[in-house]
């Protein structure tokens, strides 16, 4: 466990939005830069489904973070100016309380006894971290993908806790297309006999189900155009097994296999199921009695940046545009960046040449 990781431990019950509560919770986070005397230069980052709080390297942990090019001194999220906090989502497995954690009341892992997880619970986890740091108002709250949903929940639930917001390839609600894809990913894991109704042992996790689910994720995180350019109809260098007509043949198949295998073992299958389901359940309209525009009226933000990518299959550009339009209001600055990156939903991790200036310009302008 890296030395940069800090923990918020709450020993009182943590009520969950859809019912039930956790007897205690722990939220892992990392920080970069210095909180100023007025405590008003803080930025909070929520992550996508799979990363840890290690967004960038630091003196305490020199390994590169998942957003290394974005966070640091002189980088777009400039840690010489801002105090930056990144939280590991509640329900995720990199130090925060998750279905793989031990339930202190039973001494056993929660597994499926973990209450239903929502994006709102993740937002509350981040809120508790900044409260524990005595930060009353964030300069900005930022999140991509699942994090792009979480910042919206955060702004609706804690309207006084942030002055500005950046939602990247997020969405105000899940569409049936993405619900279908995630539901199928979950089914791949649940249908793996090794899943055992969630009661798999540590040395026999449902690796085949996880590998399939990850492959489907990877296929939908990128764009068909990018793959056409990268792989075309190239054949894999590994030899096609002559006795198995369905073994790996094309380079794209070899690429998916090698990346999916890396992911398996890094992430607890039950935690994956809970976080995936949380995305399906998210609908910002729940904060406006069923009306998205009513929910958006609760936001007290001074400025907003919505970033969308034209090739994003999962959170299509139309959803980003609607969100930006819905957030426009008197006296608020709303920026909508429509990027033509080839890398689809994952572009925020890859196409840094386009993302850096957009995020950097917005934050410099605050």
Residue 241 or 364: the one with the smaller Cβ distance to a copy of itself is 241
295 binds a copy of itself per the rule CB under 8 A: no
Q: Are 270 and 278 in contact (CB under 8 A)?
A: no
Query: Based on CB atoms, which residue is closest to a copy of itself, 179 or 334?
Result: 179
Is residue 251 close enough to count as binding a copy of itself by CB under 8 A? yes
Extract the runs of DSSP E, i.e. beta strands, from 48-94: 71-72, 77-78, 83-87
176 binds a copy of itself (CB under 8 A): yes
Per CB under 8 A, the list member of 54, 124, 215, 287 interacting with a copy of itself is 215
Q: Is residue 234 within 8 Å of 250, Cβ to Cβ?
A: yes
| CA pair distance 75, 73, nearest whole angstrom | 5
Strands (E), 104-247: 108-109, 140-144, 164-168
Choose between 134 and 233: whose C-beta lies nearer to a copy of itself. Answer: 233
Q: Give me the catalytic one of 52, 92, 345, 346.
A: 345
What are the CA-CA distances from residue 341 to residues 318, 349, 352 (Å)? 15, 11, 10
197: left (phi over 0), alpha (psi -120 to 50) or beta: left
Q: Roughly what angle, to the nearest 10 degrees, separates helices 146-157 and 119-132?
A: 70
Q: Are strands 108-109 and 102-103 parallel, antiparallel or unpaired?
A: antiparallel
Q: Is 75 near a copy of itself (CB under 8 A)? A: no
The verdict on 204 binding a copy of itself (CB under 8 A) reads: no
CB within 8 A of 48, min separation 6: which ones?
A: 144, 145, 146, 147
Q: Which residue from 147, 316, 327, 363 is in contact with a copy of itself, where contact means CB under 8 A?
A: 316
- Whether 312 is catalytic is yes
Tell the smallest beta-carbon distance from residue 219 to a copy of itself (Å).
5
Residues 304, 324 contacting (CB under 8 angstroms): yes
Contact pick of 84, 87, 188, 301 for a copy of itself (by CB under 8 A):
188
Should residue 245 be labelled a site residue for a copy of itself when binding is judged by CB under 8 A? yes
Among 59, 74, 203, 246, binds a copy of itself (CB under 8 A): 246
Active centre residues (catalytic): 145, 312, 345
Residues that bind a copy of itself in the complex, under the rule CB under 8 A: 112, 116, 173-181, 183-184, 186-188, 190-191, 193, 208, 212, 215-216, 219, 223-224, 227-228, 230-233, 244-246, 249-253, 256, 273-274, 277, 280, 283, 313, 316
């Amino acid at each position: 466990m890296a030395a940069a990781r800090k923990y918020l431990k709450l020993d009182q019950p943590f009520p969950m939005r859809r019912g039930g509560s956790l007897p205690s919770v722990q939220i892992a986070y990392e920080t970069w830069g210095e909180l100023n005397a007025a405590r008003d230069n803080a930025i909070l980052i929520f992550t996508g489904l799979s990363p840890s709080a290690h967004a960038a390297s630091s003196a305490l942990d020199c390994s590169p973070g998942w957003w290394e090019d974005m966070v640091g001194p002189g980088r777009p999220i400039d840690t010489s100016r801002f105090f930056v906090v990144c939280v590991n989502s509640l329900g995720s497995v990199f130090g925060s309380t998750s279905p793989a954690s031990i339930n202190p009341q039973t001494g056993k892992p929660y597994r499926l006894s973990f209450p239903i997880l929502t994006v709102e619970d993740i937002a509350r986890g981040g809120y508790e971290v900044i409260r524990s740091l005595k930060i009353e108002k964030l300069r900005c709250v930022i999140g991509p993908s699942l994090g792009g949903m979480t910042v919206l929940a955060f702004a609706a639930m804690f309207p006084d806790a942030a002055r500005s917001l950046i939602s990247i390839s997020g969405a105000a609600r899940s569409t049936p297309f993405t619900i279908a894809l995630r539901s199928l990913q979950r089914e791949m894991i649940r249908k793996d006999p090794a899943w055992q109704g969630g009661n798999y042992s540590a040395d026999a996790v449902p690796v085949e189900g996880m590998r399939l689910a990850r492959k489907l994720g990877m296929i939908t995180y990128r764009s068909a155009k990018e793959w056409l350019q990268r792989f075309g109809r190239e054949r894999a260098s590994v030899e096609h097994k002559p006795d198995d007509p369905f073994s790996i043949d094309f380079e794209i198949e070899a690429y998916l296999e090698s990346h999916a295998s890396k992911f398996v073992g890094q992430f607890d299958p039950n935690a994956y199921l809970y976080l995936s389901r949380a995305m399906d359940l998210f609908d910002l309209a729940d904060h406006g009695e069923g009306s998205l525009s009513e929910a958006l009226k609760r936001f007290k933000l001074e400025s907003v940046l919505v970033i969308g990518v034209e090739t994003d299959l999962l959170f299509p550009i139309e959803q980003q545009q609607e969100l930006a339009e819905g957030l426009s209001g008197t006296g608020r600055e709303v920026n909508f960046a429509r990027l033509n990156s080839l890398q689809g939903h994952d572009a925020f991790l890859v196409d840094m040449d386009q993302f850096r200036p957009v995020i950097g310009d917005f934050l410099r302008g605050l």
